[in-house]
Amino acid sequence: MTAGAIVAHFDVAQIAIYAFWLFFAGLIFYLRREDHREGYPLVPDYPGQAVMDYPPLPTPKTFLLADGHEILAPRVEAPEIVHGERALPWAGAPFEPVGDPMIQGFGPAAYALRADVPEHAYDDGLPKIVPLRSAGDFFIATEDADPRGFTVFGLDGVPVGTVVDTWIDRSEYIARYLEVELDAAFGARHVLLPMHFAKLRAKQAAVHVNSITGAQFATVPATQNPDVVTSREEDRITAYYAGGLLYATPERRGPLL
């Protein structure tokens, strides 16, 4: 062997490919552990069900959020309560709702359990979704219809109340919700109506909602603060209206054919 020929008896190309395979296998293992940070540990669908949880969960990391809060991932969370029961007695069978699915957050009315705090704007740290009465620098353009004072109707044509304010997104410069003051027959309280479920009729000074009936306005989820909406409240309110697209009337729950 020639002096200095330290790789004379080794296949360098083969060693390189083996090293690459080992590196790539380790990378896959690392990434599969990292994607276990959210949504884990897994919860069985029914008692006694085996749940594959491999690779094992990574060591929890502390993440610093933009608002200053800290959160661990992965973390132990309370088990989710499903307000439904299986239509058939085997795994994989669909669930049927128990109770009012729109109130219980079932099916299309389900919502994410985001933090029960308001989202904040990045520039000033203040809540970004607020009513116009709390946002002095914002106004409705004269080219657009001002919905304040419009009568709100459910999908059955029943008038339920009057729009008293518009909630705007201070970061996106758009209207997010209409604030509706319900008549006494529906609870005489204020509820939020997402803009994408509202059809404005400026000439009739009316707002039509095709997702829920007039009576169902009485159980629209409320906000804790009259001038602030939290992330979880937003999801719950929007999910309530979305759930009405399937559950508002018996006809909607049935098959199309």
Tell me: do 46 and 166 sit in the same domain. Answer: no
Average pLDDT over residues 162-181: 94
Q: Assess if residue 75 is contained within a domain.
A: no
pLDDT at 121 exceeding the cut of 70: yes
Tell me: do 211 and 122 sit in the same domain. Answer: yes
Instruction: Specify the pTM.
Output: 0.80
Q: Assess if residue 221 is contained within a domain.
A: yes
Tell me: do 164 and 50 sit in the same domain. Answer: no
Tell me: do 238 and 176 sit in the same domain. Answer: yes
Q: Assess if residue 215 is contained within a domain.
A: yes
Q: Assess if residue 239 is contained within a domain.
A: yes
Tell me: do 248 and 190 sit in the same domain. Answer: yes
Tell me: do 134 and 52 sit in the same domain. Answer: no
Q: Assess if residue 5 is contained within a domain.
A: no
Average pLDDT over residues 45-58: 78
Tell me: do 43 and 165 sit in the same domain. Answer: no
Structure tokens at 42: 């897994």
Average pLDDT over residues 136-165: 93
Count of domains observed in the chain: 2
Q: Assess if residue 78 is contained within a domain.
A: no
Tell me: do 123 and 222 sit in the same domain. Answer: yes
pLDDT in tens, 198-248: 999 999 999 999 999 999 999 999 999 999 999 999 999 999 999 999 999
Tell me: do 116 and 178 sit in the same domain. Answer: yes
Q: Assess if residue 212 is contained within a domain.
A: yes
- Which residue type sits at 128? K
Average pLDDT over residues 45-62: 81
Q: Assess if residue 94 is contained within a domain.
A: no
Tell me: do 124 and 242 sit in the same domain. Answer: yes
Tell me: do 24 and 147 sit in the same domain. Answer: no
Task: Band the pLDDT of 142: cuts 50, 70, 90.
Answer: confident
Domain boundary among 41, 58, 75: 58
130 lies in which domain range? 108-253
Tell me the DSSP string of the chain: --TT-TTTTS-HHHHHHHHHHHHHHHHHHHHHHHTTSSS-S---SSTT------SPPPPPEEEE-TTS-EEEES---PPPPP-EEESSSSTTPPEEE-S-HHHHT-GGG------SS--B-TTT-SBSEEEGGG-TT----TTS---TTPEEE-TTS-EEEEEEEEEEETTTTEEEEEEEEE-GGGTS-EEEEEGGG-EEETTTTEEE-SSS-SGGGGGPPPPSBTTB--HHHHHHHHHHHHHHHHHSSHHHHS---
* Sequence-separated (6 or more) residues with CB below 8 Å from residue 162: 149, 150, 151, 152, 180, 181
Domain boundary among 35, 58, 81: 58
pLDDT in tens, 11-49: 888 889 999 999 999 999 999 999 988 888 887 777 777
pLDDT at 81: 81
pLDDT at 52: 75
132: domain CATH number? 3.90.50.10
pLDDT at 5: 59
Tell me: do 184 and 247 sit in the same domain. Answer: yes
Task: Band the pLDDT of 92: cuts 50, 70, 90.
Answer: confident
pLDDT in tens, 66-81: 777 888 888 888 777 8
